[in-house]
């Protein structure tokens, strides 16, 4: 489908998954991970996507341009663990056509 | 021993609505929750956030939903064991269950309804290799009694409301309060942030940002922590207590060891009938259960609670007749002696 983009997600066991993510269903990266069940239920998206738990933290591996971080995402990441310079919260990244080729790795569960 | 008809594990929206539905069937409920207040996630994580998919409420704040559910069920006088986590369950010879909390409180009931959501909320622990060695020896993740810190040196880490609020509170109690946060911005209420600024200016709070605690030192108890400011060499700060306040995260916890069938971090139930688990007499309702097509929505939890109560009635009153009644027709008779009912139609002749 032309509204779908290809993204690569490395799960918490280090396994790479190439998946198709719809851009027309208002889905964010955390929801894409859940829809493909790449992390067990209850270990990702715990707060439902309000940038309030950091269970969807991921490391962005590609040079893809992503939307700027809002205050709540930045604040949450400042309290999360295992944070790196390329950390983002998956729930704050809405899938758009411009993200074709995005590569991310899920941060460890904490 | 606390005895009741339905023992509900979890005082979130599903658990609270269970009290109402059970009450209509003259069944009494008692709720256990690890959090100190009812409401579950709605009051702990997002009380000020709106929910848009509660039937008949175009918009309601999660905290307000909790208040309304409490108001709706109050005439059925639910009992609460709050701030305690359900730890063990033992089946008795008469078919009832005894559930014991981490603080040793015992509860007995013929029916147990697990409405535990995503599990009980446990503090998120910073990644410091020896931190567990110092738990209750100077490291505390939850402040239970502020007096415990009187005239002690305290280091608090975190950037949310609890880190701010406790820093403010302890500034008048402890010998010294140091607040360490990874960045200079805090995400608490504006007045809390301003108050911390004020206390910092008068020297009552030692604020270190952007910085992190990178090590804990001590022989038996905490004696000092290592503080590392961004792009600077670490330094040692003497302290009696280190209190990391990084929020809570839900864990299924001890319920996972109760012999229940678990799938995807949730409890498998029979959704064709009554949301009973693989152990007869134990039900799982709301976000904590799973079945084909499960949706983790509050409104689904309400439905599941209602059907579960009908099954509980049959277990508690074997063979006793019952038909579904409508509250509009029958009214609501509280256990506290109150009665709610529809006003009677006026009968008056027309001349």
Residue in B127, B160, B252 closest to A79 by CB: B160
Are B26 and B60 within one domain? yes
Residue B266: other Cβ atoms inside 10 A:
24
B186 and B335 fall within a common domain:
no
Q: What is the pTM of this model?
A: 0.82
Is B242 in the same domain as B278? no
Structural domain boundaries enclosing B162:
131-246
Q: Using CA of residue A71, residue A75, residue A80, residue A83, what is the dihedral sign?
A: positive
- Out of B126, B159, B265, whose CB is closest to A43? B265
Does a structural domain hold residue B188?
yes
Q: How confident is the model at residue B123 (pLDDT cuts 50, 70, 90)?
A: confident
- How confident is the model over A46-62, as pLDDT tens digits? 888 988 889 999 999 99
Helix (H) or strand (E) holding B72: helix B62-73
DSSP B180: E
Sheet holding B224-229, edge to edge: B211-217, B224-229, B235-238
Same domain, B229 and B241: yes
B173 by Cβ neighbours in 10 Å (0-12 / 13-18 / 19+) ranks as: middle
B230 touches chain A (CB under 8 A): no
User: Would you state the pLDDT for residue B91?
Assistant: 96
- Give the tens place of pLDDT for each residue, B162-205: 899 999 999 999 999 999 998 888 877 889 999 999 999 999 99
**Is the reported ipTM for this assembly greater than 0.85?**
no
Q: What are phi and psi of A34, to 5 degrees?
A: -65, -40
Tell whether B264 and B320 lie within a shared domain: yes
Q: How confident is the model at residue B151 (pLDDT cuts 50, 70, 90)?
A: very high
* CATH number of B145's domain: 3.50.50.60
Q: What pLDDT does A1 receive?
A: 61
Whether residues B253 and B207 share a domain: the answer is no
Q: How many CB atoms lie within 10 A of CB B341?
A: 12
Residue partners of B259: CB distance under 8 A and separation at least 6: B278, B279
- Which one of B246, B274, B307 terminates a domain? B246
Q: Are residue B284 and residue B324 in the same domain, yes or no?
A: yes
As a whole number, the mean pLDDT across chain B is: 94
Domains in chain A: ranges and CATH: 4-106 (3.10.20.30)
Whose structure tokens read 């859940």? Answer: A34
Closest CA to B140 of B246, B254, B35: B246
pLDDT of B351 above 90: no
Q: How confident is the model over B146-160, as a mean pLDDT?
A: 94
B22 occurs within a structural domain: yes
- pLDDT higher than 90, residue B160: no
Separation in Å, CA of B158 to nearest CA in chain A: 6
Is B345 a member of any domain? Answer: no
B246 touches chain A (CB under 8 A): yes
Judging contacts by C-beta atoms under 8 Å, the chain A residues touching residue B183 are: 74, 78
**pLDDT, tens digit, 9 for 90 and up, residues A53-86:** 899 999 999 999 999 999 889 888 988 899 999 9
Tokens of A110: 């904490």
Beta strands B2-3 and B106-109, pairing class:
parallel
Last residue of a domain, one of B193, B225, B246: B246
pLDDT tens digits for range B254-285: 999 999 999 888 999 999 999 999 999 999 99
Using a CB–CB cutoff of 8 Å, tell me whether B348 touches chain A.
no
For the record, the structure tokens of B17 come out as 């609505």
């Amino acid at each position: 489908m032309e509204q779908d983009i290809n993204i690569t997600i490395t799960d918490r066991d280090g396994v790479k998954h190439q998946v198709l993510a719809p851009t027309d269903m208002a889905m964010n990266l955390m929801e894409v991970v859940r829809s493909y069940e790449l992390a067990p239920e209850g270990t990702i998206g715990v707060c439902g996507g309000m940038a309030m738990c950091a269970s969807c933290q991921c490391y962005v591996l590609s040079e893809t341009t992503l939307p700027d971080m809002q205050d709540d995402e930045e604040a949450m990441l400042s309290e999360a663990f295992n944070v790196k310079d390329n950390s983002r919260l998956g729930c704050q990244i809405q899938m758009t056509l411009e993200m074709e080729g995005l590569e991310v790795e899920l941060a460890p569960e904490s | 021993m606390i005895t009741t008809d339905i023992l509900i594990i979890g005082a979130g929206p599903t658990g609270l609505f269970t009290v109402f539905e059970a009450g209509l069937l003259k069944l009494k409920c008692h709720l256990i929750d690890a959090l100190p207040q009812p409401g579950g996630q709605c009051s702990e994580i997002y009380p000020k956030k709106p929910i848009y998919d509660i039937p008949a409420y175009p918009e309601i704040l999660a905290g307000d939903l909790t208040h309304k559910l409490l108001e709706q069920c109050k005439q059925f006088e639910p009992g609460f064991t709050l701030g305690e986590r359900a730890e063990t369950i033992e089946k008795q010879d008469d078919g009832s269950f005894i559930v014991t909390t981490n603080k040793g409180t015992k509860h007995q009931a013929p029916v147990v309804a697990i409405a535990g959501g995503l599990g009980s909320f446990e503090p998120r622990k910073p990644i410091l290799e020896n931190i567990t060695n110092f738990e209750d020896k100077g490291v505390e993740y939850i402040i239970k009694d502020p007096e415990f810190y009187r005239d002690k040196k305290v280091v608090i880490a975190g950037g949310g409301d609890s880190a701010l609020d406790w820093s403010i509170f302890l500034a008048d109690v402890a010998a010294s309060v140091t607040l360490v946060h990874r960045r200079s911005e805090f995400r608490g209420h504006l007045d809390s942030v301003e108050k911390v600024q004020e206390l910092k200016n008068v020297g009552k709070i030692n604020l270190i940002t952007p910085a992190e605690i990178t090590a804990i030192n001590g022989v038996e108890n905490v004696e000092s922590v290592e503080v590392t400011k961004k792009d600077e060499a670490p330094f040692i700060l003497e302290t009696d207590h280190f209190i990391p306040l990084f929020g809570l995260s839900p864990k299924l916890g001890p319920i996972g060891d109760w012999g229940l069938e678990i799938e995807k971090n949730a409890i498998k139930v029979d959704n064709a009938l009554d949301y009973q688990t693989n152990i007869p007499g134990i039900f799982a309702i709301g976000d904590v259960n799973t079945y084909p097509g499960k949706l983790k929505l509050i409104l689904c939890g309400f439905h599941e609670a209602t059907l579960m109560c009908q099954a509980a009635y049959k277990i508690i009153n074997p063979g006793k007749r019952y038909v579904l009644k409508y509250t509009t027709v029958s009214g609501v008779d509280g256990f506290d002696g109150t009665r709610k009912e529809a006003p009677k139609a006026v009968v008056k002749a027309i001349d």
